Amino acid sequence: MNLLVTGGAGFIGSNFIRYILNKYPDYKIINLDALKYSGNLENLKDVDKNPRYGFVKGDICDKKVVDFLAKKRPDAIINFSAMTHVDRSILEPEEFTKTDILGVQTLLEAARKYKIDLFIQISTDECYGSIEKGSFTEESTLSPTNPYSASKAGADLIALAYYKTFNVPVIITRSSNNFGPYQYPEKLIPLFITNLLEDKKIPLYGDGKHKRDWIYVLDNCEAIDYAIHYGKIGEIYNISGNTEKTNLEITAFILNYLKKDETYIEFVKDRPGHDRRYSLNSSKIKKLGWSPKYKFDDALEYTIEWYKNNQSWWKKIKSGEFLEYYKKQYSEI
């Protein structure tokens, strides 16, 4: 298969590219990425010279570059491109609407024009909003609560509209919170690990009892692989690791592993509109034969070790743009 992967220099996209090149010795991948703040070619240094991999710098909102690549008629377009961080979407929502909605529409138009056989839209459990008890199925109502999740929900609806109206062969995957190597250190797990490695405090929002359903990134990559090869066109697949944890539990795990105590926790003002709990029912994708393989504790320990052993990767990021960005506070809102 020839795949056009968009947003492949980000966290999940880069893990996916590596996973596919290793698993399928005859697959070829072109990676289109705008290399905005979290897209980083260092995430793919090890596959850079692979003759089955090629990189094009460009934005999914740029019709010219998207048209140029779609014209080559890849067997599938897999869209990971997105602005993904909730806190950023609260500070600069417009960027999220542009990339996450208009960018996806640009890709869908190209898929329509060149009759691409498969379009995978990588989405998120955040589209469903928060749930107190039970778990969301693919039939649950979309109820996003922040500019990021609203833009992802918008993209999903446009993708489904292109399927129903123009027969663009769309499949959507919605996964729960990913963690693993190469995750940008603005998200909970890499932020807390790297802060502690720098002997800094870790900012826990509100009471720290918000719950997320965690999945190791390679389990998500495998689930996407299942959606590509066995998924049904026009369907949505939830992907979860079935590992529900409060932020306090995640924090305790990382503190304990790094032999730090609770005095490193700094309880800070809560995120505006902070969703209390996410939970997914992923029995539909399990019917395709997939199930998560990685044990949460092992995968989190491996992830902590990865950040310990790859300090130059995240130190470069944290010393530059990152700190500038975080000078902005919610108090501005």
- Which listed residue (36, 52, 85, 260) binds ligand DAU by CB under 6 A? 85
- Which listed residue (18, 28, 88, 210) binds ligand DAU by CB under 6 A? 210
Q: Which two tokens stand for residue 329?
A: 């506070």
154 close to 127: Cβ distance less than 8 angstroms: no
Residue listed under structure tokens 């909003």: 129
Could you say whether residue 124 binds ligand DAU (CB under 6 A)? yes
Could you say whether residue 278 binds ligand DAU (CB under 6 A)? yes
Which span sits near ligand DAU by CB under 6 A: 123-131, 165-173, 295-303, 315-323? 123-131
- Chain-centroid distance of CA 131 in Å reads 20
Which span sits near ligand DAU by CB under 6 A: 73-81, 201-209, 314-322, 323-331? 201-209
Does the annotation mark 19 as catalytic?
no
- Which listed residue (38, 89, 176, 303) binds ligand DAU by CB under 6 A? 176
Does the annotation mark 94 as catalytic?
no
Active-site residue, selected from the candidate residues 33, 59, 100, 126: 126
Burial class (CB in 10 A: 0-12, 13-18, 19+), 83: buried
Could you say whether residue 280 binds ligand DAU (CB under 6 A)? no
Number of Cβ atoms within 10 Å of the Cβ of 209 = 12
Which span sits near ligand DAU by CB under 6 A: 22-30, 110-118, 121-129, 135-143? 121-129
Q: How far is CA 71 from CA 3, 112, 159, 259, in A?
A: 13, 11, 20, 54
Nearer to ligand DAU, 66 or 86 (CB): 86
- Cβ-proximal residue to ligand DAU, closest one: 124
Q: Which two tokens stand for residue 198?
A: 């720098």
Q: Which two tokens stand for residue 131?
A: 């749930």
- Contact string (CB under 6 A) for ligand DAU, positions 212-251, x = contact: x----------------------------------x----
Which span sits near ligand DAU by CB under 6 A: 59-67, 185-193, 296-304, 318-326? 185-193
Active-site residue, selected from the candidate residues 33, 59, 125, 156: 125
Could you say whether residue 125 binds ligand DAU (CB under 6 A)? yes
Could you say whether residue 188 binds ligand DAU (CB under 6 A)? yes
- Which listed residue (177, 194, 238, 243) binds ligand DAU by CB under 6 A? 177
Does the annotation mark 148 as catalytic?
yes
Nearer to ligand DAU, 69 or 177 (CB): 177
Could you say whether residue 153 binds ligand DAU (CB under 6 A)? no
Query: Using CA atoms, how far apart are residues 330 and 333, in angstroms rounded to an integer?
Result: 5
Could you say whether residue 93 binds ligand DAU (CB under 6 A)? no
Active-site residue, selected from the candidate residues 33, 59, 128, 148: 148
Nearer to ligand DAU, 32 or 250 (CB): 250
Could you say whether residue 174 binds ligand DAU (CB under 6 A)? no
Catalytic (active-site) positions? 125-126, 148
Site residues, ligand DAU (CB under 6 A): 84-86, 124-126, 176-177, 187-188, 191, 203-205, 210, 212, 247, 271, 278
